[in-house]
Every structure is written in structure tokens, then in C-alpha cells.
Structure 1
């Protein structure tokens, strides 16, 4: 009996999903920038599962970020679903610099990423109040953009070694190496009010709350320099209306310092002494921040 390759491929995809492998989703809805969706569904999915959107670094891919982090093994334990998308443009860097990419529903990468989330919520009866985003380097830059342009979609965010939403606005490329060097070099310094105005302008008319954010940066980062941590914290503490309260040293590990804003539940920075680009992903800390 002859079975077509397309049928075999379909069977393989079904088996892969059942066994909790990373699988491709080709038709998830609006996809203006031709992103690639990869999803990890554990064999035992929680009732109303949470979703984590994991965003790769420049030159990376969803598959690479999936395999280099522990989110999938944690999903196996806890039953949440991971989405690891890929962008194939601008050296595989996310669109964090254009007008459409820094706007709500304007045809940027961000719109395609939200379509992936909406597809997952519908297909797996996921909990729309438990959608989270994280990423490293360009993925951290995009994490900041996602919570600025689609704040209603996400409950919380974590990210590693990125820049404030809007820092790269108007730059010709989205890569730290090809985009506005002033931003990556930590020379785009704004007032808190300027950052808040920039975020608000990305989604005019939005009056709801914004996601909680915890963001890490290494003091020895010579690709995306450490002043970018302060600018992110300036931006999001302004959005949340919280002020710096204290440093907590050697947390979550030796050499790391937490920069606590307000009561520490909405905005948290982590400075990693002597760490370069990028700060290693701290998955268990992410899950604590997400409440998973």
C-alpha cells in the first residue's frame, strides 16, 4: 500500500506533538512579516494552560532558543505551552525599529506574534490571563516592544540584555551591530516622561494596565551596554508609577543585584556583575515572576 509523503508528514507532526516535540505551525492567522511559528505542547497539558512566548537573539531561531533554554522541560512538569517563533530578516533580528513595528496592529512582527498567541489560546483552550513573554538580546528588545504595543495581551515579561521599547526607533536595521549604534552603546538617554510618552504613543487610546517586567543586564556587556538597563527601568517604572526602593545584593545568585521598584511586584531589574552579552537565562526565576 502506498502512503503519500504528505500523509506521512501529517502523521509525524501529530506524533511529534503528542510526544511534546517542537513543531511548526504554518497557518496561524495574520502574519504580515512572514514569521515562522514553532510550538511546544507537552504531553500533559494543564487545564487552561499558560503560554510563554520565547524570543530569540539576533542570528538565532526559535528552534535554537528552544533547545538552549529549559522552558520545554519545565513545560513538561507544569503543563504550560511554549511558542518559539523565528524571524528570517535583518540577520534574524526582531523588528524593533520601524514605525509599523512599534505600533499596534500596523503590520509589524509584533502583530504576527500576537496572532500566534491567539491561535494557541483558541486551539488549546489556553488562559488568556496567563500569557507571558521573554527573550534574550534582540528578543529582549522585542519583549519590551511587545508589552508596549500589546499590553493587554501579556500578564508579565522577563528579558535578558536588551533595550527600552523605542530605543532603536528610526534606525535603519534592527541588529545592535547595524542599527543606531547610540542605542546599543547606551547613549540614548531620555527622561522618564519621554520614555513614558514614547510607550503611550505606540498604542494611542489604550488606558489599561501594562505587564509586570523583570529585566536582566550584565555590567560587562560590550554589545548592548549596561546603561540600557537603567533606561528600561526608567521607562517601565514610569509606566507603572513606582519608584526605586532598594538594592538586594547577591540575588538571585552571587554577584547579581536586584534593583527593586515599589514593592518589587511590577518592576524589577537585575544587574549581573562582570557578565557580558548575554546574561544566561534564569528559567526558574522567570517562572516565579510569572507565577507558574
Structure 2
């Protein structure tokens, strides 16, 4: 095998996955019950976090044990970003075939080959800078992913440098609605079925303003041809949930607004379906984004 064990909690280091132009690290988790031709979820941590801490907080590897899901955790290095953030705003790291997106794509290819992953069931999720990098991955490699989940993140190409990134995080400026979808279309030559999108944001987020969640939804509405009001509006575990369905009645975009929540990943660690552990940016609010995202993707039993 091309990976070696290390002191990474439940995770195992992945080495030898390619040229790695973004100079990222990679860890994986393959549960014992992983079936042939099973699914893969790529999980991108937030600023000041690690793959291990995000897994502990979100509970992804626990859910992987339940449902037979392979996991890939790309990791940022402090030498690339002092806060350990993915560089979702840097010109060298937001384009197909370059930088951090290509590194993640190379990791995925390695895991697919090593573990007989179903190439039609590859998904990506992330929080904060990881959420913004999830937007980058979905735009630059849409043919790779069946779906993506963006938590406390930002739209693709909403910023092109650090100053713009800080302004966009506060909810100011950004691409117009007329250009949001074009930025994704122009990121590749993709002509197939676009990935489904799950968007999560706290309405009291002081780090990344919740207006960014609305922008993400609008960025993908035109791509999925579901402009206008949502197909249905409901409450799930006490929180507003909006869903847009295509002409066949299949959900293609969903949005959760977590009332009174700040910046972080929503978790529910208690009860029979509890997952994860509360901590910095891992917020106990009574709803597990991990479990609901996996259900949206059809991965739960």
C-alpha cells in the first residue's frame, strides 16, 4: 500500500498521491465494513483545525463505520497558510489543474484506485475555508463529484486576494447574480449533470456572514435550472430548511439556516443518532449536519 500509519487518531496518512502542487497533506479512513464499489466523502477542515480535530468534532468516521463510507481528509500546512486555512482566494489555488485543487484531485484518484471506490459516488464537504475550498473543488472538477456540502463557506471566485476575501467574509461586495453561475461554468469544460449542493450556515455567524450562503444558492440555481422560490420549505429538527427540486422532482439544492448559531459546523452529539464532539467551531445545536448531509447524498442506511 502507499500509505503509512501515524499518530493521527483514527486516520491513516496517505502518501505518494501525485505531484502535489498545493503541498497539502492527506489522511484517510477506510472502515472495516467498506463494501466493494463503495462511496467516498472528501472532508475539508476549517482554519486552525486539522483533519483529526475536524473528524472528532463532526463524527464523520463514526458515520463511516455505520454506513460503510470511505473518507479522505486533505490537510493544509502552516507553511502554506499561517492559520492552516485552505487558500480558496489565491489565484494559484482556485483553478483546475493547479495548486490545491489539483492536489486534492490527485488524492482522490489515489484513493479511488487503492480502494475500488465507485466513481459515481464521490462527494465533498468542508467548513469555513474548507467550505470555500469545497466551492472551488465543485467548480473546477464538477465531473468528479456527485454532490457537495458547503458549511459556513463562500461562493466560488467571490474573492481573488486576501483583502477581497476578508471583505467578502463580512458580506460586502462580491460577484453579481448575473455572473455567479458563469464563474462556475468557466472553471471547466463540463457539460454533464452538475453536483447537488447542500448549504449550511448560522444566522449569527460573525466570521463569515450568512449572506454568503444565499450567494452560494444563487450561484448554483442557474446551473441546475431551478431559479426562483424553493420547491418546499419546512423545518428539520427545529431549523428552517429550503429545497429546490429539478423537473423530475429530485432535490438538487438544499439550504439549512441554523438559528442563533455562530461560525462553525452544526453537530448533535447526544442521543441514539448522536455524532461528533463539541469544540472550537464544532457547535452543539441539536442537529447533525454530518448525518443530514449523508442522508441528502443517499449514503445512510
Q: 1:288 to 1:40 in 2, by over 3 A?
A: same
Residue 118 (structure 2) pairs with residue 127 (structure 1): yes
Partner of 1:140: 131
Deviation (angstroms), 1:248:
2.3
1:210 shift after superposition: 1.6
Aligned length: 269
- Residue matched to 1:231: 215
Deviation (angstroms), 1:264? 6.1
Query: Residue 199 in 1 paired to residue 184 in 2?
Result: yes
Matches within 5 A, 1:1-292: 13=5, 21-88=10-77, 89-90=80-81, 91-105=83-97, 107-168=98-159, 170-172=160-162, 180-203=165-188, 205-243=189-227, 244-246=229-231, 248-251=233-236, 253-254=237-238, 256-262=239-245, 263=249, 265-281=251-267, 282-292=289-299
Unmatched tracts of structure 2, length 5 or more: 268-288
SS of structure 1 residue aligned to 2:161: coil
User: Could you give the per-residue CA deviations for residues 185-210 of structure 1, whole angstroms, max 9, x where no partner exists?
Assistant: 1113443321011112222x322222
| 1:128-172 deviation per Cα after TM superposition (whole angstroms, max 9, x unaligned) | 00000011111111111110000000000112111111112x213
CA RMSD of aligned residues (A): 2.1
SS in 1 for 2:251: coil
Distance 2:13 2:70 in 1: 14
Task: Judge conservation of contact 1:95–1:108 (CA < 8 Å) in 2.
Answer: no
TM superposition outliers: structure 1 runs of 4+ over 3 Å? none
Asked which structure has the greater CA Rg, the reply is 1
**SS of 1:180's equivalent?**
helix
- Cα deviation digits, residues 28-47 of structure 1 (max 9, x gap): 11310111010001122112
What TM-score does the superposition give when structure 2 sets the normalisation length? 0.84
Asked if 2 retains the 8 angstrom alpha-carbon contact of 1:152 and 1:208, the reply is yes
Partner Cα separation in structure 2 for residue 280 and residue 271 of structure 1: 10
TM-score normalised per structure 1: 0.86
